[in-house]
Amino acid sequence: MLQIIDINKSYGSKKVLNNINIDFKPGESTAIVGESGSGKTTLAKIIIGLEKQNSGEILLNNKILQSINKRYFETCAKIQYIFQDPYSALEKNFTVLQTLNETVTICKRNNYDYMSIEDCIINVDKNLLNYLDQKVDILSGGQKQKLCIARSLITKPKIIIADECTSMLDKKNSEEIFNLLNKIKQEKNIILISILHEVDFYSEYWDKIAIFKDGNLLEYSEFKNFYNNAKNIYSKELIEAFKFFKYKGDQYE
């Protein structure tokens, strides 16, 4: 279990996270939703240890998560981050095999039990096995993001944080990636945290939803109940905007 307890964070005089509390459970996916600048990525960075909170604690299985320079390799390896832009998350001159091998080498150096390259590719898309000797650069956006997900599986993570990981992809590829992340969540009983700045309230990918605005957690509920039972004014506005665009979109389909 990953517990976010009373987390506060400011940059200078700007308060970016205001007393955030959330529990994330294994086998549960949470959509963190909020407009740009609402503090979503900052929270993710605090979880992975790249930023330090001003106050509050993060507990992983009841142990305090320290900032990254004080974390054991194993703790870092158990929390994987999927970036928004798969193009810059990958070394474009590397082959697919070199990309994955780099992480395997780090695991070996740390005597860490890793998932084989073949297994992690089969987990995401076995077609990628045909690209092992190809440069990453020739992959499509969707394939690149799948490769990033395959790479994240090498360390057998307990937590995957996907930060707007489909915002560079079209609808079909986005759905494929969300399906894939959900399959992994279920099969491996991981905590999946998906940061979104827009959400399809009809989708069935998420168990929980957390609405962020201006550094505040406004609402946190079961995803399936949210659409009909949202309490917060801002949450209701998000739903109305979704309905409006959905209707407009349908008109032109």
Residue 150 touching ligand ADP (CB under 6 A): no
Work out the burial of residue 16: count CB atoms within 10 Å of its CB; fewer than 13 is exposed, 13-18 middle, 19 or more buried.
Answer: buried
| 7-15, 32-40, 116-124, 215-223 -> range binding Mg ion (CB under 5 A) | 32-40
Kindly tell me which of 9 and 146 has the beta carbon lying closer to ligand ADP.
Answer: 9
Summary count for the chain: helices (H), strands (E): 9, 10
CB nearer ligand ADP, residue 43 or residue 115: 43
Please say which residue, 30 or 38, places its beta carbon nearer to ligand ADP: 38
49 lines the binding site for ligand ADP (CB under 6 A) = no
* Rg (the chain; Cα; Å): 18
Which two structure tokens, joined as six digits, stand for 52? 């330090």
- 16 contact, one of Mg ion, ligand ADP, none, CB 5-8 Å limit per kind: ligand ADP
| Binding test (CB under 5 A) with Mg ion, winner from 30, 41, 53, 99 | 41
Which residues are CB-contacts of 38 (< 8 A; sequence separation ≥ 6)? 212, 213, 214, 215
Q: Is 38 in the site for Mg ion (CB under 5 A)?
A: no
Instruction: Write the single-letter amino acid at 63.
Output: K
168-172 long-range contacts (CB < 8 A, ≥24 apart) are 168/84, 168/85, 168/86, 168/87, 168/141, 169/141, 169/142, 169/145
Q: Which of these ranges, 41-49, 64-72, 145-153, 238-246, lies near Mg ion under the rule CB under 5 A?
A: 41-49
Cα–Cα distance, 6 to 8 (Å, whole number): 6
Q: Which of residues 5-34 bind ligand ADP (CB under 6 A)?
A: 11, 16, 34
Residues lying near ligand ADP in the complex (CB under 6 A):
11, 16, 34, 36-42
Residues lying near Mg ion in the complex (CB under 5 A):
40-41
